Every structure is written in structure tokens, then in C-alpha cells.
Amino acid sequence: MHLVFIFLQISLWITSICALVLDASGNQHDVRSLDADTTPKGFVTFRLVKKAVTSSKLNVAAVPKAPRSAGQGIRIADRVAGYKIVKAQDSTFKNSAGIDQDGADYSYFAEVELGSEGKQLYMLLDTGASTTWVMGSTCTSKSCLMHNTFGPDDSKTYNDTGETYSVEYGTGSVRGHVVEDTLSLAGLSVTLPFGVANTTSDQFTQFPFDGILGLATSSDTWLSAVKDAKLIDSNMFGISLSRSSDGTNDGEIVFGALDPSKYTGNITYSSVKSNSAWTIPMDNITISGESTGITGRSAYIDTGTSFVFGPPDDVKAMYKQIPGSSSTDGTSYTIPCDTDSQVAFTFSGTSWNVSSKDFVSAPDSDGACTGNIYGVEYVPGGWLLGDVFLKNVYSVFDVDNGRIGFAAKSASKASEPSTTTTTTPTATAASTLVTGTASTTAVPTDTSSGLNGHETPSMTTTSAVERPTADSAQQGASSSGSKLDAVCSIALLASLLSTVATVI
């Protein structure tokens, strides 16, 4: 009996030690997760690591997020209206469309017609994403309830393929199913598979658009479908983005050709470095004509991102040449509101200045101004150039020749300010626009971090430059836990055998 008691005591000790070790391992993972920097830095569509494909029709990746179950009782009438829309001037050039915006230069989108009934939805024009999707009529996420949606009741040609998709962006994520139907923009209408979201993250509550039109260089986009249908002569498009403070929205996107009224002088081209992303070599970054030493980098040109982002060390070197700049975190930098430092990016030997209207933020409540170039490395060693840069140039995205071109923008010829409207979501009818002043309380107003719609791949495929993720850390913790479980089991068995041997 004494030996049995000893065996039981030893077993309890072993069990307690194993429990402590396992719990410590789990707690360590929790602490690491909490230490991660989750501060939003705009809405980014840029890919961070290679994405896995879950659908042969839609190049998207699986992101394990559970759909929401709440909100089933919310009616259409309860949906929030009030997104500010600054309408673009009518575009008369062939195969062109005006680019609307939100009045803060954060997001640029166009009115796209969907399905047999031509339901109009606002879709973000996003060169940083390959996936096209809209918010679905069955979606009960908060952002869907604040936007126009699309579903089977909106189109007689709506075809649900039965496949699913999910996408993560630099900030924000969506998931849903793949359908086939028509999308029409700039007088170009094609049938293609695209996503209909039934779950969206809350980041999308901050912006007016109802979905994203992916315009990356991959072969399964709306643009490639247009080219395959022989609706345009050249697989290319030109973009001119407006600046809200200029008073007139003359933004335009044109497909298959370039609008000569939107630019002056020559177009300087740079060859694209990737088959799936609009990335080109960046020669240099200068401050008031002086080199910062930031050379030989790659630049990703992304209309779906509001600001400019670069590796923290590069950004630090850049701001070091701006008198009066400072940072407490190496990510954002305060600068003198009246700085005369001129930031310029150089491609293929030509430098393009960024206006102080775009580089210097408006003063905060303390009177401090922030530079709209941030030290966040969304891709290892690369720069992400969003609308802060693109408002200063006419941009050409040439798929056929694998290149991006920049030219000087033409001065606006309009004398009248653009029309500002507010949106009214509707589930089954075309979008309704109500002229008037945008509501100041209907929608979230915390858009200071801008938009970052660059697609982020899933973590199922690891590349050589991939950083550890929360999921991989969790898997590591689970693996370690399994090993400890095995050790504990062996120890208990050894204790039992030893005791039995002693008794015998």
C-alpha cells in the first residue's frame, strides 16, 4: 500500500509540473500576441506574403474568420446613410469614366453597373488588388448594413458558382462566395466571376465604396476580361486623380487608350518587375533636390492606398533631411506646418514632386502637422506609393508592354466646383444620390489613417521573407504543447512500470 501511495504522489507531481509548463507555454503565446503592433496605418491592399488560391476562378486566399451571426433582424430602413461623395465631372473621352472621391482624398471610386438590371454600386479603383468583389445582400456585417449591396434579387443573370473566397488587406478583410454576372464601367460590359461578400470587417464602415474593382496585373481581372472580349485595342488604362482642396473633381480613368487632355509633355515609362503587381524600380528619393541615399528600391503603385509607406529606416533617413521633423515611434513624423522641403520620387531618371498639399497633413488639435509618408514596411524592402503621390502625376498602367508611365498633369479647365452628395443605401434598387451636405454623425469619421486597400495574402504558404504570424505562432505553441503532452505521458508510464516492478 505504501508503494501505491508513493506511485500516486509521483504521478501527481509529474502531472502538476506538466500542467505548469503547458500553461506557461500558452501564456507566453498570449503575451506575444498582445505585444504585436495592431495600430491601423491606413487601408492597404498590398500583398505581404504569397497568397494561396482557393478558387480556380478567383485568385483569392482563405482567411479563417468566422462569419457574424448577429444583425438578422436589421431592416433596410435601419441602414445608415450619409457618406460624402464628391462627384467627378462628366467624362466624354471614349471608354472613360469619372473618378468620384470622398472629399478627403482618402478613397477614389467609380460607379459600376452590375447584373441584368444595371444596379449601380461604388467600387474602389484598386491597382493594388487583383480581387473584385461587392457587398452581398445577405451580409449582416456592420459595414454591409451601411452600404448598397448586390444579390440574386438584383439580377436575372446572377449565377452563384458555389465556390467561396476570402481576402485580407493591409487593413480590413472580406469573405463570401463567387458569382458570375456582368460588370459595366466606362461603356465596357463583360461577364466574369467576382466575389459577393457575406462578411466584412468594420474598417469598411469608414469609406463610401460598396466593393473593390481589382486592377492588378494578374490575368483574371475585370480588365483582362475586357481585353479577352476584344472591347479595347490595348490592355492599358490611364488614371488622373483629383485633389479635394483644388475645388474641382476632374478625376478620370480611361481604358484602352490615354486621354491627351489630362497630361502634358512626355510620358516616362518604367518596366514592371512583377507579373502580379504594379511594381517598378525606384531610382531615388530626394528632399529639395538632395539625395536621401534611398536608392535601388522597388515601388508598388497603388491607387487603393491613401498615403505613402516605406521601410522605417528609409523613412527615417528621408525625414532626417527635413528640418524640424521628429518622431517618437519611427512610424509617423511631425513636421513644421510651413515646411518648404520638397519631396520627390525618381523613376527612370525623371523626378516627380509631391505637393505640400499632399505631403503635409492639416494641423491637429495641438497645432502639429504630420508628414503623410509613414515608416511601415508592408513589403520587405519596398515602398508603397498611394494617392499622396499619384495625385501629382498622370499615371499609365500598360499591361501589354509590362510598364508604368508618369506624366505631368494638365491644369484643370473647370471653373465650377464639383457637386457634393450623400448616399442612401438600398438593397434592391439602383443607388440613390441625394444632393446636400454630408452628415457629420451618420458614418464613422475616424478616417485619419486613410485607406490601405492593398491585398494581403493568406498565411498558408510561407515565403523566404515571411515574418512569423500569429497563426504560425499558435501552431508552434500547439506543436510544443503536443510534445510536452507526449513527455508527460511517457513519464507517467515510466512511474507506473517502476512501481509495479518494485512491488513484484
Give the per-residue SS3 of 393-426. Answer: CEEEEECCCCEEEEEEECCCCCCCCCCEEEEECC
Contacts of 423 (CB under 8 A, 6+ apart): 81, 82, 83, 85, 122, 148, 208, 431, 432, 433, 434
Q: What is the DSSP letter of 68?
A: P
- Residues marked as catalytic: 126, 302
Q: Which triple of cell numbers denotes residue 332?
A: 509617423
- CA dihedral for 245, 99, 397, 449, sign (positive or negative): positive
Q: What is the DSSP letter of 78?
A: G
Task: Tell me the sheet residues that pair with 300.
Answer: 279, 384
Alpha-carbon span 372 to 364, nearest angstrom: 13
In three-state secondary structure terms, 261 is helix
Q: Give the DSSP per-residue string, 175-190.
A: EEEEEEEEEEETTEEE
Contacts of 297 (CB under 8 A, 6+ apart): 281, 282, 310, 314, 381, 382, 383
How many Cβ atoms sit within 10 Å of the Cβ of residue 330?
14
Q: Which triple of cell numbers denotes residue 27?
A: 501564456
Alpha-carbon span 390 to 386, nearest angstrom: 6
Task: Tell me the sheet residues that pair with 299.
Answer: 280, 383
Alpha-carbon span 484 to 139, nearest angstrom: 43
Q: Is 265 exposed, middle or buried (0-12, 13-18, 19+ CB in 10 A)?
A: exposed
In three-state secondary structure terms, 223 is helix
Task: Tell me the sheet residues that pair with 121.
Answer: 112
